[in-house]
C-alpha cells in the first residue's frame, strides 16, 4: 500500500470529525447496555450491563492485536475471506488503508480509521446479548465474543466494508453497517438463542421490563451516538455527512411514529417501550442507507421499518425461539429491511451510490443488496451456530437451573443492583474481604 502522506493526504477537519464520531460510537455500547438492562428482570440487570461493558474490554484488545488487520488488511486469508496480517499489532500505520485509493483515498490517519472501526466491532457482539439475556454464562460469553469477532465479524466487515472485499467490489451498498453490524448481529443472536434454549418460565412467568426509564435513557444515548455511527461513516466533515446526519434523525423519528401507530391500533396504547424500540428500529434501518437516500426517502424507509419491526417482534412467539429482547425482530429485520429498501429508495443525489427502483435505476441495486445481506446473514447464522455448539460442548453455555432462577447478578458477579436499605440489605461481616473498613470514630470526633 502506498504511504499515507501526513502532510498532503491529511485533512484536519475530517480527522477531527471522525475522532469525535469514534467517541460517539463508543457511547452507544453503554447506551445499549441501559437499553437492554432496563428490559431484563431486576435480578439480571448487572449481568446484562457487564456483558456489554466487557465487550468493550475484550474487543478493544483483540481488535488492536489482530482483528483490525483481518477486517481491513489486504486480501490474504483463503483469497478474500479476510484480510492478511500485515497490520498485526497495528503495524504499518503509515500506509493508506488497503483498497482506499483514487477517489476512495482516505484523508484521515489510518490510526483514526482503526479507532473509528473499533467502536463498530465493539457494539456488534454487544448487540447479541439481547437475544441471550438472563441465561448465558459469563466465561462462555467472553470466549464467544473473542472467537466470534475473529471468525464472523472480521470476515463480514472485510467483504462489505473494505474496498478489498468481494461484496464491496460488486457494488453492494452498506453505508454504516446495516449488513455488517445489525443483520449480522441479528442472525447471530437468533443462532445463539436457539442453541441456548428458552429462558425458564418463558411464556408462563411474567418477565416484565424492570426499569423502562433505563430503556428510554439507553435509547436516547443510542440515538445520540448513532450520529457518529452514520454521519461519521462519511469519513469526512462534508455534505455526505450532512445527508447521513439528517437521514438518520428523520428515519428514526418516522420509525418511532410507525411503531407506536401500529401499537395503538393493535394493542390499544402507544407505549414508552414502543417509542424506544421504534427509534432503535429506525436507527438500524437507516444505517445501511444513511448516505444513499434522500431525506424524503428516509421518512418512508424509517416509517416502514418501524411498523415492520413492531410486527416482527411477535414472530418469536409463533416460531418458538426465545429471542429475549428482540434482537431478531429489531436488528435482523430492521437491518435486512434497510439494506433491501436501498434497492427502492437509493438515489445518486447524495454524490455516492446509484439509483434504486423508485429513482429509475431498475432492480439491479435491489438484487445486489439482497445478495450481500443474504450472504452475510447466512454466513453469520451458520458460523455462529457452529461456534456456539462447540463452546457449549467444551465449557457449557448456559447457567444451571438454580443459577438462572437466582439471577445473574448475585450468581455471576456477587453483587446486587438495587439496595434500598430494607431488612434484606444484609449484614456487614468484617474479615479478610473487608480489610479497608474505616477506623471507628473516637469519642467526641465530629464528621
Partner 1 sequence: MRLVTAVIKPFKLDEVKEALETFGVQGLTVAEVSGYGRQRGHTEVYRGAEYTVDFVPKVRLDVVVADDDVRDVVDVIVKASSTGQIGDGKVWTTLVDDLVRVRTGERGPDAL
Binding region for partner 1 (CB under 8 A):
206, 208-209, 263, 266-269, 271, 273-274, 277, 310, 313-314, 317, 326, 329
The long-range contacts involving 94-97, CB below 8 angstroms and separated by at least 24 positions, are 94/3, 94/4, 94/6, 95/1, 95/2, 95/3, 95/4, 96/1, 96/2, 96/3, 96/4, 96/9, 97/1, 97/72
**Considering the complex, what minimum distance in angstroms separates the CB of residue 315 from partner 1?**
10
The three three-digit cell numbers of residue 170, written as one number = 460488486
> Cβ neighbours of residue 110 under 8 Å, at least 6 residues apart?
4, 93, 94, 95, 96, 97
**Considering the complex, what minimum distance in angstroms separates the CB of residue 129 from partner 1?**
17
Nearer to partner 1, 5 or 267 (CB): 267
Q: What are phi and psi for residue 173, nearest 5 degrees? A: -105, 125
Nearer to partner 1, 50 or 325 (CB): 325
The three three-digit cell numbers of residue 216, written as one number = 428510554
Q: What are phi and psi for residue 436, nearest 5 degrees? A: -105, 30
Nearer to partner 1, 38 or 288 (CB): 38
**Considering the complex, what minimum distance in angstroms separates the CB of residue 100 from partner 1?**
41
In sequence order, the β-bridge partners of residue 136 are 398
d(CA 305, CA 301): 6
Query: 10 Å Cβ neighbour count for 26?
Result: 20
Could you tell me if 173 and 119 are in contact, meaning their C-beta atoms sit under 8 angstroms apart?
Answer: no
**Considering the complex, what minimum distance in angstroms separates the CB of residue 124 from partner 1?**
22
**Considering the complex, what minimum distance in angstroms separates the CB of residue 313 from partner 1?**
5
Nearer to partner 1, 208 or 367 (CB): 208
Length of the chain: 447
**Considering the complex, what minimum distance in angstroms separates the CB of residue 29 from partner 1?**
22
Nearer to partner 1, 279 or 290 (CB): 279
d(CA 445, CA 443): 6
Nearer to partner 1, 37 or 155 (CB): 37
Could you tell me if 273 and 215 are in contact, meaning their C-beta atoms sit under 8 angstroms apart?
Answer: yes
**Considering the complex, what minimum distance in angstroms separates the CB of residue 398 from partner 1?**
23
Nearer to partner 1, 135 or 210 (CB): 210
d(CA 82, CA 90): 16
Nearer to partner 1, 19 or 212 (CB): 212
**Considering the complex, what minimum distance in angstroms separates the CB of residue 26 from partner 1?**
28
Amino acid at each position: 500500500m502506498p504511504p499515507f502522506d501526513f502532510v498532503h493526504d491529511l485533512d484536519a477537519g475530517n480527522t477531527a470529525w471522525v475522532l469525535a464520531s469514534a467517541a460517539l460510537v463508543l457511547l452507544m455500547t453503554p447506551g445499549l447496555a441501559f437499553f437492554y438492562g432496563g428490559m431484563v428482570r431486576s435480578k439480571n440487570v448487572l449481568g446484562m450491563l457487564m456483558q456489554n461493558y466487557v465487550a468493550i474490554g475484550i474487543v478493544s484488545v483483540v481488535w488492536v492485536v489482530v482483528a483490525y488487520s483481518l477486517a481491513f488488511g489486504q486480501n490474504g486469508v483463503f483469497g478474500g475471506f479476510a484480510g492478511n496480517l500485515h497490520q498485526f499489532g497495528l503495524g504499518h500505520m503509515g500506509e493508506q488503508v488497503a483498497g482506499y485509493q483514487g477517489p476512495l483515498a482516505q484523508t484521515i490517519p489510518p490510526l483514526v480509521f482503526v479507532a473509528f472501526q473499533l467502536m463498530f466491532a465493539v457494539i456488534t457482539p454487544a448487540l447479541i446479548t439481547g437475544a441471550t439475556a438472563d441465561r448465558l454464562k459469563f466465561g462462555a460469553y467472553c470466549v464467544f465474543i473473542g472467537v466470534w469477532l475473529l471468525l464472523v465479524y472480521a470476515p463480514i466487515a472485510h467483504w462489505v466494508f473494505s474496498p478489498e472485499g468481494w461484496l464491496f467490489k460488486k457494488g453492494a451498498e452498506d453505508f454504516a453497517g446495516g449488513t455488517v453490524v445489525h443483520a449480522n448481529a441479528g442472525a447471530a443472536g437468533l443462532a445463539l438463542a436457539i442453541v441456548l434454549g428458552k429462558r425458564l418460565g418463558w411464556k408462563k412467568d411474567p418477565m416484565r421490563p424492570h426499569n423502562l426509564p433505563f430503556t428510554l435513557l439507553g435509547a436516547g444515548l443510542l440515538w445520540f451516538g448513532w450520529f457518529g455511527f452514520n454521519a461519521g461513516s462519511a469519513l469526512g466533515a462534508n455534505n455526505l455527512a450532512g445527508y447521513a446526519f439528517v437521514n438518520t434523525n428523520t428515519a428514526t423519528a418516522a420509525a418511532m411514529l410507525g411503531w407506536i401507530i401500529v401499537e395503538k391500533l393493535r394493542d390499544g396504547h402507544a407505549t414508552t417501550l414502543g417509542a424506544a424500540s421504534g427509534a432503535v428500529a429506525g436507527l438500524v434501518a437507516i444505517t445501511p442507507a444513511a448516505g444513499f437516500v434522500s431525506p424524503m426517502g428516509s421518512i418512508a424507509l424509517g416509517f416502514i421499518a418501524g411498523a415492520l419491526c413492531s410486527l416482527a417482534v411477535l414472530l418469536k412467539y409463533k416460531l418458538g425461539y426465545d429471542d429475549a429482547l428482540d434482537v431478531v425482530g429489531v436488528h435482523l429485520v430492521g437491518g435486512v429491511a434497510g439494506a433491501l429498501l436501498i434497492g427502492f429508495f437509493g438515489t445518486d443525489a447524495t454524490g455516492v451510490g446509484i439509483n434504486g427502483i423508485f429513482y429509475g435505476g431498475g432492480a439491479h441495486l435491489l438484487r445486489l443488496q439482497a445478495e450481500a445481506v443474504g450472504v452475510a446473514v447466512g454466513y453469520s447464522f451458520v458460523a455462529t451456530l457452529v461456534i456456539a455448539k462447540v463452546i457449549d460442548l467444551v465449557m457449557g453455555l448456559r447457567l444451571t437451573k438454580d443459577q438462572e432462577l437466582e439471577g445473574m447478578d448475585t450468581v455471576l458477579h456477587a453483587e446486587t443492583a438495587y439496595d434500598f436499605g430494607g431488612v434484606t440489605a444484609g449484614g456487614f461481616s468484617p474479615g479478610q474481604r473487608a480489610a479497608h473498613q474505616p477506623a471507628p470514630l473516637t469519642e467526641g470526633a465530629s464528621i
